[in-house]
């Protein structure tokens, strides 16, 4: 649909584009990203004939730009520029109707049914049908941007050129508009070339991206392939991290502020006992990977609450009930990792190892009423879980990679299994050694300051520390539980 070959451009003696080459297939949503001044708008202006092409070749649908008259160009392509002067005295519909100019013939063209249909459809795509009779100047900045986009769509182009189409729009407006635009483009086989400032928008919506740096191609390809942290770090001259989008099969990017919080002193961390809970409170947020009832997955959390409930605790929505409990006790559920147990939380074991460069601590409560052998759990009859859970919070003083978080979970689980074997805890149904309980919870937390740990498996110093702490704390917690049962 669009071929750009060896295109360069100078303003006076300043070179702003340097031999840029790419092509865009029909139906593609193609993004152009890059820092301010990297040449994105200039490139779009060259494609839209707003600037004369002095060096290189551009063709639309096989037609070289030089062979296309303005009206011929307008039948193939439409453009939404970065800034537009608001013309006074026009309604929204009249503004959108101007997009039909390229399709009209003769000196006094008639308004046809096709013109009307194209305008109505364009208004529907941008969600402005209900405001079509409003004067344009009375619209908000975001609504006005949508009206201009509708004007470009009403042109029924094969190629749509957009310079920051979501300028002035709030986040929900951006998502709504880009979702509709993508659906409309897919339905009509429309090709979209869009400049985006926000790299997450480009990653979410573009099939491929061109990354410009100082007028040169820094990368070209599918966002997942080319938008690497190293490339973006270099292009935007700021540290970028990327992670998987939690809901869409896309990547998300975040800039990392260089102003860092003070170091969290792990030495000051101690469990605090309430009547029905054991609590760890960190002065600064810790990055946590957990399976807890409240705060599962990756989170930033300041509090860890292991709450004791009665043997008869039975609640349809335990998570919601736990959230209410946390709020009632002054903990923010958004910053708290909340677990439940039926064992006496006063039997919690806190073990800490403070060594130069590798400090960690664990908090464990253990009950084995639900002991299960994971390898033979398939033999169990489905039944409501009985009280008896091993809950564990691990805190590491250091910066953990995601691999290290996962390995810490593996190391902790292996050490727990060993502790259960050491105390001959059995699965009462299969009469084999138990590997855990059916309701265990684990949270691994890290200060994310100081020493970096790429891994936390047992081949590493951190893994060995965690393995020992978890093993010893679990043994002690099992023994305390056993002693209390003996007393009863
Ligand atoms: N008319 C002009 N005359 C002289 N220099 C210009 C002109 N228009 C743009 N430039 C310069 O060309 C370079 C590229 O500008 P361009 O607008 O293409 O960048 P951009 O990547 O779109 O930037 P932004 O993200 O800020 O919109 C910039 O250094 C800019 O100052």
Q: Is 341 in contact with 308 (CB distance < 8 Å)?
A: yes
Q: What is the mean pLDDT of the segment spanning 66-73?
A: 87
Task: Give the span between the Cα atoms of 339 and 392, in whole angstroms.
Answer: 9
Domain edge (last residue) among 255, 288, 310: 255
Q: Which of 18, 40, 43, 54 to mutate to test the pocket of ligand 1 (most atoms within 8 A of CB)?
A: 40
Give the closest residue (by CA) to ligand 1 atom 13.
37
- 9 Cα–ligand 1 center, Å: 11
Q: Which has the closest alpha carbon to 369: 287, 442, 430, 311? A: 311
- 236 Cα–ligand 1 center, Å: 16
- Do 361 and 307 sit in the same domain of this protein? yes
Give the closest residue (by CA) to ligand 1 atom 25.
36
Q: Which residues pair with 338 in a beta bridge?
A: 294, 305
Judged against a pLDDT cut of 60, whether residue 194 lies above it is answered with yes
Judged against a pLDDT cut of 70, whether residue 86 lies above it is answered with no
**CB of residue 365 inside a 6 A radius of ligand 1:** no
What is the model's pLDDT at position 418? 98
- 51 Cα–ligand 1 center, Å: 12
Task: Give the span between the Cα atoms of 347 and 364, in whole angstroms.
Answer: 9
Judged against a pLDDT cut of 70, whether residue 98 lies above it is answered with yes
**CB of residue 157 inside a 6 A radius of ligand 1:** no
Q: What is the pLDDT of residues 280-310, one digit of tens each?
A: 999 889 999 999 999 999 999 999 999 999 8
**CB of residue 34 inside a 6 A radius of ligand 1:** yes
- 5 Cα–ligand 1 center, Å: 20
- Do 340 and 300 sit in the same domain of this protein? yes
Task: Give the span between the Cα atoms of 424 and 418, in whole angstroms.
Answer: 10
What is the model's pLDDT at position 104? 65
- 401 Cα–ligand 1 center, Å: 39
- Do 238 and 287 sit in the same domain of this protein? no
Report the range of poorest mean pLDDT among 49-63, 264-278, 288-302, 374-388. Answer: 374-388
What is the model's pLDDT at position 180? 83
DSSP classification of residue 91 = B
- 190 Cα–ligand 1 center, Å: 28
**CB of residue 36 inside a 6 A radius of ligand 1:** yes
Number of the ligand 1 atom closest to the C-alpha atom of 82: 27
Range of the domain at 315: 267-487
- Do 51 and 131 sit in the same domain of this protein? yes
Residue with tokens 């464990």: 364
Is 476 inside a domain boundary?
A: yes
Domain edge (last residue) among 255, 289, 315: 255
Number of the ligand 1 atom closest to the C-alpha atom of 17: 14
Give the closest residue (by CA) to ligand 1 atom 27.
36
Judged against a pLDDT cut of 90, whether residue 22 lies above it is answered with yes
Specify the CATH number for the domain of residue 223. Answer: 3.40.50.300
Is 165 inside a domain boundary?
A: yes
**CB of residue 101 inside a 6 A radius of ligand 1:** no
- Do 419 and 474 sit in the same domain of this protein? yes
- Do 162 and 126 sit in the same domain of this protein? yes
Q: What is the pLDDT of residues 414-458, one digit of tens each?
A: 999 999 999 999 999 999 999 999 889 999 999 998 889 999 999
pTM: predicted TM-score of the whole model, two decimal places? 0.80
Give the closest residue (by CA) to ligand 1 atom 30.
37
Number of the ligand 1 atom closest to the C-alpha atom of 39: 18
Q: Which residues of 402-440 are buried (b: 16+ CB within 10 A; e: fewer)?
A: eebbbbbbebbbbbbbebbeebebbbeebeebbbbbbbb
The number of distinct structural domains making up the chain is: 2
Task: Give the span between the Cα atoms of 427 and 349, in whole angstroms.
Answer: 23
- Do 236 and 321 sit in the same domain of this protein? no
Specify the CATH number for the domain of residue 477. Answer: 3.60.70
Q: What is the pLDDT of residues 139-189, one digit of tens each?
A: 888 888 888 889 988 988 899 999 988 877 888 888 888 888 888 888 888
Q: Which residues of 312-335 are buried (b: 16+ CB within 10 A; e: fewer)?
A: eeeeeebeeebbebbeeeebebee
Judged against a pLDDT cut of 60, whether residue 264 lies above it is answered with no
- Do 169 and 272 sit in the same domain of this protein? no
Q: Average pLDDT of the chain? A: 90
When pLDDT is cut at 50, 70 and 90, the band that residue 399 belongs to is very high
Q: What is the mean pLDDT of the segment spanning 270-276?
A: 94
Instruction: Concatenate the DSSP letters of all residues of 405-423 into one string.
Output: HHHHHHHHHHHHHHHHHHT
Is 216 inside a domain boundary?
A: yes
Kindly state the tokens that stand for 461: 């110093």
Is 262 inside a domain boundary?
A: no
Q: Is 211 in contact with 218 (CB distance < 8 Å)?
A: yes
What is the model's pLDDT at position 263? 60
Q: Which of 39, 161, 201 to mutate to test the pocket of ligand 1 (most atoms within 8 A of CB)?
A: 39
Q: What is the pLDDT of residues 324-375, one digit of tens each?
A: 999 999 999 999 999 999 999 999 999 999 887 789 999 999 998 889 999 9
Judged against a pLDDT cut of 80, whether residue 267 lies above it is answered with no
Task: Give the span between the Cα atoms of 151 and 97, in whole angstroms.
Answer: 7
- Do 239 and 346 sit in the same domain of this protein? no
Give the closest residue (by CA) to ligand 1 atom 9.
42
- Do 276 and 183 sit in the same domain of this protein? no
Judged against a pLDDT cut of 70, whether residue 261 lies above it is answered with no
When pLDDT is cut at 50, 70 and 90, the band that residue 210 belongs to is very high
- 38 Cα–ligand 1 center, Å: 7
- 217 Cα–ligand 1 center, Å: 16
What is the model's pLDDT at position 262? 62
When pLDDT is cut at 50, 70 and 90, the band that residue 383 belongs to is low
Angle at 101 (CA atoms; ends 95, 107), nearest 5 degrees: 120
- 327 Cα–ligand 1 center, Å: 52
Is 260 inside a domain boundary?
A: no
Q: For residue 74, which phi and psi values (nearest 5 degrees)? A: -70, -20
When pLDDT is cut at 50, 70 and 90, the band that residue 90 belongs to is confident
Give the closest residue (by CA) to ligand 1 atom 16.
39
- Do 238 and 317 sit in the same domain of this protein? no
What is the model's pLDDT at position 165? 83
Q: For residue 327, which phi and psi values (nearest 5 degrees)? A: -60, -45
What is the model's pLDDT at position 88? 74
Q: Which residues of 163-186 are buried (b: 16+ CB within 10 A; e: fewer)?
A: bbbbbebeeebbebbbebbbebbe
Q: What is the mean pLDDT of the segment spanning 16-24?
A: 97
**CB of residue 38 inside a 6 A radius of ligand 1:** yes
Is 384 inside a domain boundary?
A: yes
Judged against a pLDDT cut of 90, whether residue 74 lies above it is answered with no
Q: Which has the closest alpha carbon to 399: 352, 358, 350? A: 358
Judged against a pLDDT cut of 80, whether residue 102 lies above it is answered with no
When pLDDT is cut at 50, 70 and 90, the band that residue 107 belongs to is low
When pLDDT is cut at 50, 70 and 90, the band that residue 406 belongs to is very high
Is 111 inside a domain boundary?
A: yes
Is 163 inside a domain boundary?
A: yes
- First-to-last alpha carbon distance for the chain, in angstroms, is 80
- Do 17 and 79 sit in the same domain of this protein? yes
**CB of residue 41 inside a 6 A radius of ligand 1:** yes
Domain edge (last residue) among 255, 284, 306: 255
Kindly state the tokens that stand for 104: 């009209």
- 185 Cα–ligand 1 center, Å: 28
Report the range of poorest mean pLDDT among 105-109, 226-230, 474-478. Answer: 105-109
């Amino acid at each position: 649909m669009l071929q750009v070959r060896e295109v360069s451009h100078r303003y006076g003696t300043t070179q702003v584009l340097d031999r840029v080459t790419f092509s865009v297939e029909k139906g593609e949503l193609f993004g152009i990203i890059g820092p301010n001044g990297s040449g994105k708008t200039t490139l779009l202006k060259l494609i839209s004939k707003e600037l004369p092409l002095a060096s290189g070749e551009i063709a639309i649908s096989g037609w070289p730009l030089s062979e296309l008259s303005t009206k011929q160009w307008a039948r193939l392509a439409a453009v939404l520029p970065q800034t537009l002067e608001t013309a006074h005295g026009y309604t929204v519909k009249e503004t959108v109707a101007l997009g039909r100019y390229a399709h009209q013939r003769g000196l006094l063209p008639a308004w046809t049914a096709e013109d009307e249909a194209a305008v109505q459809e364009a208004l529907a795509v941008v969600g402005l049908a209900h405001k079509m009779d409003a004067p344009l100047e009375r619209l908000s900045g975001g609504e006005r941007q949508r009206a201009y986009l509708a004007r470009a769509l009403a042109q029924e182009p094969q190629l749509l050129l957009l310079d920051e189409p979501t300028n002035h729009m709030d986040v929900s407006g951006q998502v709504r508009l880009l979702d509709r635009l993508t659906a409309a483009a897919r339905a009509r086989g429309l090709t979209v070339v869009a400049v985006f400032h926000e790299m997450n928008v480009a990653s979410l919506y573009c099939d491929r991206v061109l990354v410009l740096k100082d007028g040169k191609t820094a990368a070209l390809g599918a966002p997942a392939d080319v938008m690497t942290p190293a490339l973006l770090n270099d292009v935007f001259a700021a540290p970028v991290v990327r992670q998987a989008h939690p809901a869409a099969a896309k990547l998300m990017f975040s800039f990392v502020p260089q102003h860092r919080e003070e170091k969290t002193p792990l030495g000051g961390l101690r469990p605090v006992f309430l009547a029905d809970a054991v609590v760890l409170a960190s002065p600064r947020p810790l990055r946590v990977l957990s399976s807890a009832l409240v705060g599962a997955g990756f989170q930033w959390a300041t509090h860890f609450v292991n709450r004791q409930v009665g043997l008869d605790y039975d609640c349809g929505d335990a998570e919601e009930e736990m959230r209410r409990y946390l709020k009632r006790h002054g903990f923010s559920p958004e910053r708290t990792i909340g677990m439940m147990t039926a064992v006496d939380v006063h039997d919690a074991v806190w073990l800490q190892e403070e060594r130069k460069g590798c400090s960690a601590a664990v908090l464990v409560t253990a009950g084995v009423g639900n002991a299960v052998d994971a390898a033979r759990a398939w033999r169990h009859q489905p039944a409501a879980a009985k009280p008896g859970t091993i809950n564990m919070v691990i805190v590491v003083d250091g910066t953990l990679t995601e691999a290290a978080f996962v390995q810490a979970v593996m190391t902790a689980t292996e050490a727990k299994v060993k502790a259960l074997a050491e105390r001959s805890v059995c699965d009462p149904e299969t009469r084999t050694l138990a590997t855990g309980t059916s309701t265990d919870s684990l949270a691994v937390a890290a200060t994310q300051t100081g020493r970096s740990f790429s891994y936390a498996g047992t081949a590493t110093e951190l893994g060995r520390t965690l393995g020992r702490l978890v093993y010893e704390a679990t043994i002690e917690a099992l023994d305390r539980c056993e002693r209390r049962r003996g007393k009863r």
